[in-house]
Amino acid sequence: MIYNHNIIQRQYDEIIAPNFDIDAKGIYASTYQKGIIQLQNTNLILSKTPLQVLDIGIGTGSFLEQIALLREGEVSPFGMDISEKMLDIAKKKIPNLRTIVDDATNLEKHYANRSFDLICSHFVTGFVPMRELAPKVWNLLDEGAYWSLIGQTMASYPNLRKIEDSLVSKLIYWVSGNSKLDYDVVSSPEGHSEVIEILEENDFEVCQIETFEPKIDFANLDDFLDFGYYNGWLTPFIEKLGIHKASKMLSLMINILLFPIHDNQSIEIALARKITK
Ligand SMILES: C[S@@+](CC[C@H](N)C(=O)[O-])C[C@H]1O[C@@H](n2cnc3c(N)ncnc32)[C@H](O)[C@@H]1O
């Protein structure tokens, strides 16, 4: 069982799109920078013009915008996303962006007559399993073309998980009337090795890969909600928990008993190349 796509679409359209570019703890920006460095280590940025690039789950388009800047506009940019509101923001950053609003699991229904030099999919493998995405991406790439894949793995947030199992959390679940979280809704890979395994199983050569483990400190519930709920990192979980609507009494209790929280994410940043089967 994975995320219900209608719920994700609503959350991105209504809650996350207006806040996404605030990038509450700067983790998106740091990650894009690392992804861009991987691209700069190849001949892709200097290669033939214009570069055909598809970003799957493009969001507000910040990564593709940076590629377009590096290429001084010599890019043919395509973006697909389930959220129209995220795409609206991307279109303002990348004027000639051609967009499709659809679920990435339908990728093969689009771009039938196209192939790409680069496909990006960043922070979408939590919603669309990497194993499902990999063969579809492979089919749309030219031989030797690249897949820039960035995503969190299940190794993220070890301390939040510990807290979730604690007695304090059980008390909060009881007071708030909500039930324990179900991690089966997330399709993220387990960790570094599984990312490599899936890439290789699907005829990709892993050119570069690094694990980025930024530390994150949450001072209090509001700080946590800015990052986790409004910025999109944990919106489906928080909405299920209901703590974004906590009463003053419950907020006070959560702040006293649970915060501050120190944790880290675990993000795989990979650049892989299509090899012939
Ligand atoms: C965390 S954001 C990342 C956006 C962008 N890739 C970035 O790194 O800044 C995830 C994006 O994936 C989109 N998304 C979620 N599920 C999707 C699906 N099934 N198909 C297509 N896009 C999806 C969301 O609407 C959102 O724009």
Domain positions in the chain are: 5-157+186-217+264-274
* pLDDT value of position 276: 83
Give the whole-angstrom CA distance, residue 100 versus residue 273: 25
What's this model's pTM, rounded to 2 decimal places?
0.95
Sign of CA dihedral 152, 40, 111, 139: negative
CA of residue 82 to ligand 1 center, whole Å: 7
Please state the rounded mean pLDDT for residues 192-198: 98
**Ligand 1 pocket residue status of 5, Cβ below 6 Å:** yes
Give the whole-angstrom CA distance, residue 201 versus residue 203: 6
With the most atoms of ligand 1 within 8 angstroms of its CB, the residue from 83, 105, 111, 212 to mutate is 83
**Ligand 1 pocket residue status of 126, Cβ below 6 Å:** no
User: Atom 26, ligand 1: which residue's CA is nearest?
Assistant: 59
Give the whole-angstrom CA distance, residue 185 versus residue 272: 27
* pLDDT value of position 182: 60
Backbone angles phi, psi at 75, to 5 degrees: -140, 140
Q: Which run of H or of E encompasses 27?
A: helix 27-40
Are the C-beta atoms of 212 and 29 separated by less than 8 Å? no
Mean of pLDDT over the chain: 92
With the most atoms of ligand 1 within 8 angstroms of its CB, the residue from 127, 128, 147, 185 to mutate is 127
Strands in the chain per DSSP E: 51-56, 75-81, 98-101, 116-122, 141-152, 204-212, 215-218, 261-264, 267-274
User: Atom 8, ligand 1: which residue's CA is nearest?
Assistant: 122
Give the whole-angstrom CA distance, residue 137 versus residue 120: 9
* pLDDT value of position 188: 92
Grade residue 87 by pLDDT with cuts at 50, 70 and 90.
Answer: very high
* pLDDT value of position 1: 42
**Domain spanning 5-157+186-217+264-274: CATH superfamily:** Vaccinia Virus protein VP39 (3.40.50.150)
The tens digit of pLDDT for each residue in 5-26 reads: 899 999 999 999 999 999 999 9
Are the C-beta atoms of 84 and 101 separated by less than 8 Å? yes
* pLDDT value of position 181: 61
Residue 201: pLDDT over 70: yes
Give the whole-angstrom CA distance, residue 199 versus residue 180: 33
